Amino acid sequence: MRFHSALLGLALGVCSTQALAQSVYPIRAEPKFAGVYDLSTGRFSPSNPAAGAKATQTLYKNDCNSNYYVPFGPCVTVFDEGRIPSADPTCASTRNLYDLSMIEVAYCTGAATGTVDIDFALYGTRELSLCETSTAYAGQAPSWSFDSSAASFPLPGSTVAGQQACWIVGFTASGCISGGPAEDDSFHVSFRNNNTAAETGGVLAGPILAGSPSGGTGAGTFCAPPAACATGLGNADRFWANVDGVAIGGIPPACATTPPAMAVTTGCYSLAPFGYASFYARIEGEAGGLCDPPVIAYCTSKVTSAGCTPVLSCFGGPSKSSGAGFELHASGLRPAKSGIFFYSNAGVQITPFQGGWLCMKNPIKRLPVQSTGVSGGACGSDPTTGVMTTDFNTYMAASSDPGLTVGNMLLLQAWTRDPQSPSATNLTNALYSTIFP
């Protein structure tokens, strides 16, 4: 990879009226590749040490030539978006879960090696949507993260504090992330600089920009002729910034704006029209693996009073550590009614219940009540009605239920109101799987 000369002094565009922008900063020397940091051993390797154990492939790559980075003060966390395609090379609607293998990022800093304090995280979710008006990511568990101070500051930096140094660093990674189709394949990489201007001689850290100079937004996908330096689905030339303790559009504290950092409030920034596709990033993973346990449908749904046969389906599989990626979808329900998903770890037992079938043994645990959507046509003719969805991995990550442990069986079913039926209720079919790490 080569970062070559470009025009200096490009200004950042703004897509939020609350956000202020200054300039991107030039990279003065070719970024160096530090290797891959193994989180399990605390050592750097010249290549990904996990590659031999997994059938890895590049899921996302944005490392096109650039000559700039964006410096941020130590109070700012920035989130950059991307998308991961399905394993289907035609980019059809098939969805897949990938077992993460490596995350590669690039940054510039003036902090000396041994004192570089930069944190990174990967969120496999579309909930971190850009240009949003609330900090919806707050409290969400990342699919992967690296905390520099907790790891005793292993990141490479400058040989002399205050002199710019730019690096490309890989990290071993594990956890699950989804790919394809659109909306279910989004991810966000976060960057946080914790070094102050005093620690870096005024050269604050920031992520390196990358992208396709010929195409910029969305260039290089599995679904279109890719640029040699861009693989994976579109990047919208924007990033989302959050300043600690500052409301949307509020005045940032001095730690966020100390020169040469951008004067930034919480908001959405655009890098267009300069041909970038946001921050340098590369993600590797293995299709399936521990992230894609088999999920088997069994038992029989009860036909609703409207003559519909409800279906409980899913994408992904139950992973205790992923925090997301096992989406349950119940369809064909009566619209504008209440319902619940419920589960058991006790075993299969198909018993007549309320005119349908209860497909699991007690004890049974219930998820929160939700609506089946707005009033509309029967049998799912309108996809916004007669449906319930939830991500069971997200529920499992927050649950204290001792039954939700790795290796336990997991049985799932949905129950909804159906006032016109004799029992006034309905039950779907059920799903059977095993909880994976």
Are 326 and 219 found together in one domain?
no
**Residue ending a domain, choose from 289, 305, 327:** 289
Span 125-143, average pLDDT: 54
* Weakest-pLDDT range from 43-57, 306-320, 353-367, 398-412: 43-57
**Residue ending a domain, choose from 267, 289, 311:** 289
Contacts of 201 (CB under 8 A, 6+ apart): 110, 161, 162, 163
Evaluate the omega torsion of the peptide bond into residue 207 and state whether it is cis, within 30 degrees of 0: no
Are 87 and 178 found together in one domain?
yes
Q: Coil, strand or helix: which one is 371?
A: strand
Are 297 and 277 found together in one domain?
no
CATH code: domain of residue 342: 2.60.40
Task: Give a yes or no: residue 238 inside a domain.
Answer: yes
Q: How far apart are CA 239 and CA 12, in angstroms?
A: 11
Q: How far apart are CA 44 and CA 384, in angstroms?
A: 49
Domain that holds residue 359: 293-434
Are 392 and 420 found together in one domain?
yes
Are 163 and 143 found together in one domain?
yes
Predicted pLDDT of residue 107: 96
Task: Give a yes or no: residue 85 inside a domain.
Answer: yes
**Residue ending a domain, choose from 289, 321, 353:** 289
Task: Give a yes or no: residue 273 inside a domain.
Answer: yes
How many structural domains is the chain composed of?
2
Task: Give a yes or no: residue 54 inside a domain.
Answer: yes
- Model confidence at 280: pLDDT above 80: yes
Q: How far apart are CA 369 and CA 363, in angstroms?
A: 18
pLDDT tens digit string along 210-221?
Answer: 865 444 433 333
Are 18 and 48 found together in one domain?
yes
Are 207 and 337 found together in one domain?
no
Are 154 and 26 found together in one domain?
yes
CB 347 within 8 A of CB 360: yes
Q: Coil, strand or helix: which one is 341?
A: strand
pLDDT tens digit string along 66-103?
Answer: 788 989 889 888 888 777 766 655 544 455 677 889 99
Predicted pLDDT of residue 16: 34
Are 168 and 269 found together in one domain?
yes
Which tokens in the block code for residue 283?
């993600």
Using a 10 angstrom Cβ sphere, with 0-12 exposed, 13-18 middle and 19 or more buried, the burial of residue 140 is middle
- Model confidence at 172: pLDDT above 70: yes
Q: Coil, strand or helix: which one is 313?
A: strand
